[in-house]
Amino acid sequence: MAETRLYLISPPRINVENFAEQLRNALEGGDVASFQLRLKSVPDVEIERAAKALMPICHKHDVAFLINDHPKVAARLKADGVHIGQNDMPYQEAREIVGPDSIVGVTCHNSRHLAMTAGEAGADYVAFGAFFPTDTKDVSHVADKEILGWWAELFEVPCVAIGGITVDNCRELIQAGADFIAVSGGVWNHPDGPKEAVRQFNQVISDV
């Protein structure tokens, strides 16, 4: 089984200049597979401004840059891909916008059916959650870690665990079979800072 990797998600609100420094700091802490810019209820122009500032930082560290919910923005800026929720748009529509070579990930909550549908359609990954309480978003679906093991055993498409993940609780999700652990507050709000948070997450991953 391939080693689990870290998938960072931005806070829901950022000051671009300040956050750029935080992101740089985080990526110096160790291996990160991807970063998702997730800004809710802000105009496209703000998302574009943030993406233009943050994407080069990610690419300098060989980190894939994804944009949440906005495939047209992702395509226009040549981001590495897009993440879509169940209420955003159908997978196929997002794929047509960003093209065959971009990453398209799909939120599947705690649903095996939604995950199988997304996987069969061609999604590059499926995301399950929330596994733990989180302040980053309103949680309407709670997932059990068993779904990660079930998915890993049956399907080749990678799965992402999301929701309230911290250095202290990530081990069980890694052991259950998550290909990626998606973290927001667990990195940006870590008492020792983002760089140390990323270092500690990678330490747990290598210990499992």
**pLDDT tens string 102-112:** 999 999 999 99
CATH number, position 18:
3.20.20.70
Instruction: Name the residue range of residue 163's domain.
Output: 5-207
Percent of the chain's residues with pLDDT above 70: 98
Task: Encode 102-133: b = buried (16+ Cβ within 10 Å), e = exposed.
Answer: bbbbbbbbebeebbbebbeeebbbbbbbbbbe
CB atoms within 10 A of CB 140: 7
pLDDT for res 14? 97
Q: How many domains is the chain partitioned into structurally?
A: 1
Question: Quick one: how far is CA 76 from the chain centroid?
Answer: 20
Q: Tell me if residue 97 falls in helix, strand or coil.
A: helix
160 burial via Cβ count (<10 Å: 0-12, 13-18, 19+): buried
Q: Helix, strand or coil for residue 25? A: helix
| Model confidence, pTM | 0.96
For residue 141, the model assigns a pLDDT of: 86
The pLDDT value recorded for residue 35 is 99
* Spatial distance between the Cα atoms of 62 and 50, rounded to a whole number of angstroms: 18
Closest CA to 88 of 104, 110, 64, 75: 104
pLDDT of the residue at 136: 67
Strands 159-162 and 125-129: parallel
pLDDT of residue 17: 96
> Which positions of the chain have pLDDT values less than 50?
none
102-105: Cβ within 8 A, 24+ apart: 102/74, 102/75, 103/34, 103/64, 103/66, 104/71, 105/66, 105/81, 105/160
Name the strand (E) or helix (H) holding 60. helix 44-60
Cβ atoms of 151 and 115 within 8 Å: the answer is yes
**How far lies 139's CA from each of 1, 111, 117, 129, 164, in Å?**
30, 14, 22, 9, 10
Partners of 109 in the β-ladder = 128
